[in-house]
Structure 1
Amino acid sequence: MLSDPAGNRPAARTGSGRLAGPRRLIPQPPRSQRGNIMQVLVVEPCAATAERLAGVARRQGYGVQTASRGQEALEKYPRADLVLLNLALTDIDGLEVCRTIRAAGHTPIICVSNQDSALDRVLALKSGADDCVVDSCAEREIIARIEAVMRRTGRLHEQPPQVVSSGPLRIDGRTREVRVGERLVVVTSKEFELLYALAVNAETVVSRKELMATVWRDNWAQSTRTIDTHVSSLRAKLGSPAWILTVRGVGYRLGHAGTSSSAVGAAP
């Protein structure tokens, strides 16, 4: 039995030996415009509160870093897509941290205040914050505010369609099934993710580095055999090498059986 990459229950085999799709929808993690999983930096001096806020973000699929001091936050924020910043820091005033991050760029900032004070909200917004919340607010409100700020600042990438079709090729993100015409193509978990990543970016070339980060959650850009092996297997299972085209020196893109181009080739 195979497990899907989101950690859901293993997919069961049907009587014919084929893999049945998962019984429930697999949510797609929030992604940045670069296609990477969104990273939230939680800056919070209280360990218990930091863990609570980090847990809220992780349950929604965000990647999370934490920092307990202002100096640590200033070192880590360049790797974050959004900063959740408590104003009551012990080493540097939270408003000063907010002003420093804002002066350096456009990283979205949501300030967290220990009290429901209009003055705190005004000072946070004047210091460059995109929003300000009370640390005791409900989990749903925190997530809603994060998503609202991400959308407003253009950082949140729209979720890809759950079903992608290209001619007779149909890739269903809900059931994790791949079909060519009426034929069900049995693929492994990583083969499905690789094909789906190419399908939702059908008009663009997806680099090897992006595929390693998206499919294998690995930033090691030098790997060749892992991707090539999966591409070769997919081409055989789909029935034509033209379904996945190699852009030499760059990566891959989704093709169409019978298409050709002088700029791309079917061989890895």
Structure 2
Amino acid sequence: MRVLLVEDDEPIAQSLRRGLTRYGFEVEWVTTGRDALAHHEAYDVVLLDLGLPDTDGLDVCKALRERGDVPIIVISARSDETDRVVGLELGADDYVSKPFGVREVIARIRAVMRRMQPRGTEAPAEAGPDRYGPRLTIDRKAARVRVDDEELALAPKEYDLLAFLTQEPGALMSREQIMEAVWDANWFGPTKTLDVHVAALRRKLADVITIEAVRGVGFRLIVNDGDGGKGTS
């Protein structure tokens, strides 16, 4: 899915672009309303900041809506109800207030795209649970983990961490990437909580996976029994 990101705050834009790219989105980033309106390459959804340096984002929203029906999600530090209402009346499909997490934005994008799907169009078949090696199964739709067909009790963040690390078994994930994905881009607490959750997963899945620590960088998940590949059950 192609995303046009209109955001002049570089740290926010870079963090959002990294997160979206990691989840399979293609992101084109511009920093002004003028560049947004001059961008003529095809895209599937617009993420539009209201506080742009050259023009009011609401004017850009209106101009984009007059051009077509591409979904527009406003992202802004403006939390006033009036701005929300005006944005939606001008054609925005959703509104996300800063600070926000990457996963929240992705959820909003997916929700908007589902609403945009024409009535009567069949949705693609849901993917089944993902299997990692002969013993571990993760059902991302139901947020359930099974080992040897027995459901494993995990705390919410333990599940989120496992689900993220198993997206690419064997890949080295930096602490920053993990914190951003599992605890959101706006997490400002200590990263010691990551070590606590890694230790919990190691304890609960000791014979099923190995989570290697790479000093000064991050962690790498390895599926045990010589099968690091991912398939479906």
Report the TM-score, using the length of structure 1 for normalisation.
Answer: 0.44
Candidates 21, 27, 35, aligned match of 1:72: 35
> Which structure would you say has the larger RCO, counting Cα contacts within 8 Å and 6 or more residues apart?
2
Structure 2: unaligned runs, 5 residues or longer: 133-233
Aligned-partner Cα distance in 1 for 2:48–2:89: 15
Task: Kindly state the Cα deviation for residue 139 of structure 1 after the two structures are TM-superposed.
Answer: 2.2
Shift in CA distance, 78/53, structure 1 to aligned 2, threshold 3 Å:
same
2:72 is matched with: 109
- Determine if the alignment matches structure 1 residue 50 to structure 2 residue 16: no
Aligned-partner Cα distance in 2 for 1:97–1:103: 10
Between the two proteins, what is the percent identity of the paired residues? 40
Deviation readout 1:19-65 (Å, 9 max, x if unpaired): xxxxxxxxxxxxxxxxxxx1011100111111111122112101110
Candidates 134, 137, 142, aligned match of 2:105: 142
Shift in CA distance, 133/77, structure 1 to aligned 2, threshold 3 Å:
farther
2:92 is matched with: 129
Aligned-partner Cα distance in 1 for 2:6–2:39: 10
- Asked if the contact 1:109–1:131 (Cα under 8 Å) also holds between the matched residues in 2, the reply is yes
Candidates 68, 76, 81, aligned match of 1:118: 81
Deviation readout 1:172-219 (Å, 9 max, x if unpaired): x989xxxxxxxxxxxxxxxxxxxxxxxxxxxxxxxxxxxxxxxxxxxx
RMSD after superposition: 2.5
Aligned-partner Cα distance in 2 for 1:52–1:157: 34
Task: Kindly state the Cα deviation for residue 119 of structure 1 after the two structures are TM-superposed.
Answer: 1.5
Deviation readout 1:44-88 (Å, 9 max, x if unpaired): 011111111112211210111000000111122652100000001
Higher share in strand = 2
Partner amino acid, structure 2, of 1:127: L
2:59 is matched with: 96
1:1-268 correspondence runs (5 A): 38-76=1-39, 78-154=41-117, 158-159=123-124
Structure 1: unaligned runs, 5 residues or longer: 1-37, 164-172, 176-268
Following TM superposition, the consecutive aligned residue runs of length 4 or more in structure 1 with deviations greater than 3 angstroms are 155-163
